[in-house]
Amino acid sequence: MDKAELIQRVDHTILTPTATWDQVREACDLAVAWHAASVCIPPRFVRRAAQHVGHTLKICTVVGFPNGYSTPEVKIFETEDAIRCGADEIDMVMSLGLAKSGDWEGVLREIRGVKASCQGRILKVIVEACQLTMEEKEAVCRVVSMSGADYIKTSTGFSTGGATVEDVALFRRLCSPELRIKAAGGIRTWEQAQAMIDAGADRIGASALLPPV
């Protein structure tokens, strides 16, 4: 896969807590120039970014980020607010506490609630794979496959680890064929991104892949 084709699968990301509007605007412009899949930005900048890019770029933002322990009601409110501001795609953090408790029905209800609030827009579920045991990874693949979400996403990039080729391959093997995979966290080179694609990833979340224009 050449770089231009790969970039079309990249969510160009800027989620640092210190991000300014000038930095977000520059990220939007870079993503537009390279025809990236989307730009993934903090919620507070969604409205301004949507107005800035018009319809030339998909705007992605995060919900329950980065810890995932907001209530389902808060995650739904965040989703609805993001959509009102112009978000096209939502990346929500799953409740790790529910997963660690084995409350997979609770995890499923939460994801379905957020998906319903997306009003047809793409939902990606961040499962923070580095925090999960193998048994939990197997369970989360089943649950996210059942939830109606569009993607399962490996990582926030704010925990103890990021995407691995092994996790992407595992997710591709265990998830339903309809569920797509987003690899994110620590992907900084073309070689790493290509390895994730080869393992089964459909989308790449990265902040450092797009070269300056």
Q: Which of 11, 58, 153, 167 is catalytic?
A: 153
Pairing of strands 59-63, 38-41: parallel
Please state, as a whole number, how many other Cβ atoms lie within 10 Å of the Cβ of residue 198.
12
Catalytic residue among 11, 88, 91, 150: 91
Note if 182 is an active site residue.
yes
Specify whether 91 is catalytic.
yes
15, two tokens: 């989620």
Length of the chain: 213
Question: 61 near 28, Cβ under 8 Å?
Answer: no
Give the SS3 label for residue 65. Answer: coil
Catalytic residue among 58, 75, 124, 182: 182
User: Is residue 58 annotated as a catalytic residue, yes or no?
Assistant: no
Alpha-carbon distances of 104 from 34, 113, 139, 202, 211, rounded to whole Å: 39, 14, 8, 25, 41
Active site positions, annotated: 91, 153, 182
